[in-house]
Amino acid sequence: MEKATFAGGCFWCMVKPFDQWDGIHKVTSGYMGGTVENPTYEQVKTGNTGHYEVVQIEFDNSIFPYEKLLEIFWMQIDPTDAGGQFHDRGDQYRTAIFYHSEEQRLLAEESKKKLEESKKFHKPIVTEIKEADIFYFAEDYHQDYYKKEPEHYKEDRKVSGRDVFIDTHWK
């Protein structure tokens, strides 16, 4: 299994899009990129730890290639928003692709360049491409939130503006 790590705003909304495909072994919510060891959600949500909310995906590249994960990632976010995602504001909700290998870095950069060249967005693409570092698991109640709290999950997506954005820009 390989790993892919993406920051796309609130991690609750980033699990389900990846969690439904053959070749995806596991999607875990967590934190990456900050300065505090073993951060808690309460610490990360302040925006002061430097962490991003992320999903880490364990996948079989021979069944579900990394390039396809990148396609799905881009279609879940507003890559032009440097201040967070939709109604979730703050550094912890910024977007980023955390690469685990040189090949992933190159593929991520290529996919970002293609998106920029597509002119799909009128503003610059600000999603960062960063080397993966320590992944910290989010608390259990955040794992598979869309399954545990389906009504709250649907309502959160609806009021966030994420679904309207996706429908407008990607459908």
Is residue 162 within 8 Å of 14, Cβ to Cβ? no
Instruction: Determine whether 13 is an active site residue.
Output: no
C-alpha dist (Å) from residue 65 to 6, 50, 98, 108, 116 = 15, 30, 16, 12, 22
Alpha carbon of 81 to those of 29, 90, 107, 125: distances in Å?
Answer: 21, 11, 22, 8
DSSP3 helix / strand / coil % (the chain, rounded to 5) = 35, 25, 40
Q: Which of 10, 44, 97, 108 is catalytic?
A: 10
Which pair of structure tokens corresponds to residue 143?
A: 């794992």
Q: Which residues are catalytic?
A: 10
